[in-house]
Chain A
Amino acid sequence: AQTVTQSQPEMSVQEAETVTLSCTYDTSESNYYLFWYKQPPSRQMILVIRQEAYKQQNATENRFSVNFQKAAKSFSLKISDSQLGDTAMYFCAFMKHPTQGGSEKLVFGKGTKLTVNP
């Protein structure tokens, strides 16, 4: 079974600064996806970034980037130029690679509550 661990229950950062959220996972799968989701107070789950395990290049999406260390099973999220709207719960999630035409479940970490201070 896969597990996802987020060791930082809460973090805070000043507006415009950079913050890194940690995530480690455990799996025996060789091919999988890793995700960071954001859940603002509205509770809507929003995909921040997705990484395919077979791709060595770290995924980036504007101010969001990841540091994917496959051997160490680590998948941290870096938020640059933090904005007030980044305040939310952030969940790291794992999905083993789906078979053709199917989908697999997401396994979530416990989340990190990020507060961006003005």
Chain B
Amino acid sequence: GAVVSQHPSWVICKSGTSVKIECRSLDFQATTMFWYRQFPKQSLMLMATSNEGSKATYEQGVEKDKFLINHASLTLSTLTVTSAHPEDSSFYICSAAPGLATGELFFGEGSRLTVL
């Protein structure tokens, strides 16, 4: 199956700093990428949808200025957590769609963020 890679897989940062997480589709072009957040023992919560070359669409309640999403190319989307605080500590997962209208979505391995 298609491969989606997330980097870093885990990151620890100090409160007030910014952290960037990358999501790459390695063997296909992803017209759409999705970013999810998952708290321990909970389900995945969609944060935003990004389409290549356009602004991300954020879900209600997600702070656009805190979670900056950029989808600059058909193989790369980035999530930047700005001025991170301990409550931003979570597991972040991206998924990418090849845009074939087939319902296919491929998930990255996830990134665990810990803010001290």
Q: Are B103 and A33 in contact (CB under 8 A)?
A: yes
- Known contacts A105-B49, A106-B95; is A45 also within 8 Å of B32 by CB? no
**Segment at the A interface, from B15-23, B38-46, B63-71:** B38-46
Residues of B within 8 A of A (CB): 1, 31-32, 34, 38, 42-44, 46, 49, 91, 93, 95, 97-103, 105, 107, 109-110
Q: Are B101 and A43 in contact (CB under 8 A)?
A: no
Whether A91 is near chain B, meaning CB under 8 Å from some CB there, is yes
The residue that A105 contacts in the complex, of B31, B38, B46, with Cβ under 8 A, is B46
Residue ID in chain B nearest A43 by CB atoms = B110
* Minimum distance in angstroms from B46 CB to a CB of chain A: 5
Q: Are A108 and B43 in contact (CB under 8 A)?
A: yes
Q: Are B43 and A101 in contact (CB under 8 A)?
A: no
Q: Are B43 and A103 in contact (CB under 8 A)?
A: no
- Known contacts A91-B44, A106-B34, A111-B43; is A101 also within 8 Å of B99 by CB? yes
| Other A-B pairs beyond A97-B101, A108-B44, A110-B42, 11, CB < 8 Å | A33-B103, A44-B110, A98-B101, A101-B31, A101-B99, A101-B101, A102-B97, A102-B101, A103-B103, A104-B103, A105-B46
- Known contacts A108-B43, A111-B43; is A102 also within 8 Å of B99 by CB? yes
- Known contacts A43-B91, A109-B43, A110-B43; is A103 also within 8 Å of B101 by CB? yes
Q: Are B43 and A97 in contact (CB under 8 A)?
A: no
For B49, list chain A residues within 8 Å (CB): 105
8 A Cβ contacts from A81-105 to B = 91, 95, 97-105
For A101, list chain B residues within 8 Å (CB): 31, 99-101
The residue that A103 contacts in the complex, of B46, B99, B109, B110, with Cβ under 8 A, is B99
List the 6 closest pairs (A to B, CB-CB), nearest first: A103-B97, A33-B103, A45-B107, A103-B32, A98-B101, A108-B43
